[in-house]
Amino acid sequence: MSPLILSAAGVALVLDRSGPGLPRIRHFGRDLGPADVTELMPVLESVVAVPRLVPAQADAWYGRPGLSGSRAGEHWPVRWNLEDLVVKATPGSGGTVTVTCSDREAGLELVSEIAMDVRGLVTMRHTLLNVAATLYRLAGLTCAIPVPARARELLDFTGRWSLEKVPQRRVFEHGVWSRENRRGRTGHDGTGLLVAGTEGFGFRTGEVWAVHTAWSGDHLHYAERLHEGTALLAGGELLESGEITLEQGESYRTPLVYFTWSGGGLDEASGRLHDHLRETRPLPVRPVTLNNWEATYFDHSLDRLLALADRAATAGIERFVLDDGWFRHRRDDRAGLGDWYVDEDVWPRGLHPLADRVRELGMQFGLWFEPEMVNPDSDLAREHPFWILGVPGRLPPPQRHQQVLDLARPEAYDYVLGRLDALVTEYALDYIKWDHNRDIAEPVHAGVPGVHAQTLATYRLLDELHRRHPRLEIESCSSGGARIDFGVLARTERVWTSDANDALDRQSIQRWTGLLVPPERMGSHVGAPHDHITGRSLPLAFRAATAMFGHMGVEWDLTTASEAELTELAGWIALHKRFRPLLHTGRVVRADHPDPTALLHGVVLPERALYAFAQLTTRVDSGPAPLRLPGLDPAADYVVRRVGPLPPNAAVPGWADEPIRLPGAALAELGLPGPALRPASVVLIEVERVQRV
């Protein structure tokens, strides 16, 4: 058969359908134009070791196999035969390809699905079916796409609690660079995106390819280069021995794996991911949110919370979320998880006095849960000790005085669903903050490794709550940013980006998390003047300007704020609301700014843009570098003005005092004179398109 091309938005994927086995991806990258791809095949075929959709030795691939498993203790190398190939595609608009293959001797069938959306984003997944009478033990099944020889560098991310998404770069050499997660959740060190690119690629320059696995349990991403000249990116679920066994007629389907390409740096590749999420899960306006955790912790005095709600409404906050501590026995973090009943001693009239007052003030009301967890010191654990995920009769190592509830056990699932449903109904909850505060250790369900079953049960629970309560919004919080992936984002409206509210750390955390997640889904709060994690004290303007470029909120005891601070905060919230339609729908851009002590980023729509220049630490150079504004139309004219309060003692050039008019080409190439700012200062720049005279 002739080669097949999927193309959209300047991206092309060329699929070589010549059998007898699975097709090969000969090209994923820049659109090849109107050329006859058949004529290009001699060039595309010059790399001899290009793997098929599931890399295997039978196809002369001597790297990591895409499928591994065994049958009755015997290893069966699979040789796929192409059975069927269905194409639904329109040139320039993407499309889908469904490939069916089989190996009768191995007793397996495979259905591979490849899709390209109108933005050029590619998804892939495989479904493996056991058609033989004997048990098949699946060890691994991944999705992979080859990348060309010019992809010479790798970028991925590590991190820890309160400092997620720390970038790390390396040369893409021979061998495998594998990021494997066995924490039972995506993890603070979850890489999110594994990126391969041309040497020196940046946000606005270079060619990049990236992979993301949409799965909230154990997973892997890896890059591999062989000496034959072939390299690839791959991702999938990371399975433990015995976790997936297939009886005759049973199947396993991989998570969706996303592949994105850009010819102009990370921003373009990131934009394809943002567009996909926005189009598949559109959201209403994102209300400014106050969470009471760092304001009151476990002190649930009604008078104190009512006073906090009053101050929140005064500042213009639109949603009030009551965090941990409202349920039975929960006076600290050692007891009560799983006892999802309002504590009668602390709340003798239930949560109604607070919820009613919050709504009288014009705010939505939300509540914190940690549904997948249980404290051993709880009524639930005492009554149902075998609902704990682990080896019966032996508790896994404790973390945070808690264990994991086995949601794949029907009785445990039904209990949690029933309690959440009852509370959402009784209090007409607008919002759930859904936490997950520990890694999963020794996850044994029904005698086998249980992360796969636990993850699917969590997804079912989220899906069912949304089905019963269509207006309910859910935030995925996992001790901060430890569960951020497209699997959970397909079922939630927001992620808690990090437990760090220190705005200096947040500048970097949000910058890199934002490669995957658009701003309106990243919880970003104004913290207290003195941060309890880092010990830093930062100006309110810097904290608020940092929080503006996300789903803005507040994590601060406003009853301790002065009237001047409350007025200033209200001004920043009003500024956020003014720009919210832009910030939550526009294209995120990040400048490759030459000064490593500062960041320049923005959000751009065709008619309007907002940029932030943040001076993080003291400059090395005596003079500031020009601010070259990315993402504007070079052929258009723009009016540029500073918005928001000016940082104290800032030396800001004349463009900040009076609006100036410049063409987009000049703003991108020459830029604006850079302001001289003290550390922990931000200047906001508004850019509006005007009619060219």
260 CB-near residues (< 8 Å, 6+ apart):
120, 121, 122, 209, 210, 212, 269, 270, 272, 273
The question of whether 499 is a catalytic residue gets the answer: yes
DSSP, res 182: -
In sequence order, what E strands does 148-238 have? 153-160, 163-171, 175-181, 194-197, 208-213, 219-225, 231-237
Q: Give CA–CA dist 228/66, Å, rounded.
A: 18
Are 47 and 61 spatial neighbours (Cβ–Cβ below 8 Å)?
no
Active-site choice (16, 156, 275, 499): 499
436 marked among binding-site residues: yes
In order, the DSSP letters of 7-22 are EETTEEEEEE--SSSS
Q: What was the pLDDT predicted at 466?
A: 98
345 marked among binding-site residues: no
422 CB-near residues (< 8 Å, 6+ apart):
none
435 marked among binding-site residues: yes
Q: What was the pLDDT predicted at 645?
A: 86
What are the percentages of helix, strand and coil residues in the chain, rounded to 5?
A: 25, 35, 45
| 379 three-state secondary structure | helix
| 247 three-state secondary structure | coil
Q: Are strands 522-527 and 494-496 parallel, antiparallel or unpaired?
A: parallel
Q: What was the pLDDT predicted at 47?
A: 65
Q: What was the pLDDT predicted at 318?
A: 98
437 marked among binding-site residues: yes
628 marked among binding-site residues: no
Are 175 and 203 spatial neighbours (Cβ–Cβ below 8 Å)?
no
Q: What was the pLDDT predicted at 657?
A: 79
323 marked among binding-site residues: yes
Q: Give CA–CA dist 385/525, Å, rounded.
A: 38
Q: Give CA–CA dist 175/226, Å, rounded.
A: 6
Q: Give CA–CA dist 172/437, Å, rounded.
A: 34
406 marked among binding-site residues: no
Q: Average pLDDT across each block of 10 residues of the chain; the chain has 693 residues. List them in order.
A: 90 91 95 80 72 90 95 85 95 96 96 98 98 96 97 98 98 98 97 97 98 98 94 98 97 98 98 98 97 97 98 98 98 97 98 98 98 98 98 94 98 98 98 98 96 98 98 97 98 98 98 98 98 96 98 98 98 98 98 97 98 96 94 97 87 81 97 94 97 80
221 marked among binding-site residues: no
Q: What was the pLDDT predicted at 48?
A: 62
Are 212 and 192 spatial neighbours (Cβ–Cβ below 8 Å)?
yes
340 marked among binding-site residues: no
Q: What is the 3-state secondary structure (H, E, C) of 545-585?
A: HHHHCCEEEEECCHHHCCHHHHHHHHHHHHHHHHHHHHHCC
- Domains of the chain are 4-280 (2.70.98.60), 591-690 (2.60.40.1180)
Q: What was the pLDDT predicted at 355?
A: 98
Active-site choice (117, 435, 485, 505): 435
The question of whether 303 is a catalytic residue gets the answer: no
In sequence order, what E strands does 414-536 have? 431-434, 444-445, 448-449, 473-476, 494-496, 522-527
- CA angle 59–60–62, rounded 5-degree value: 120
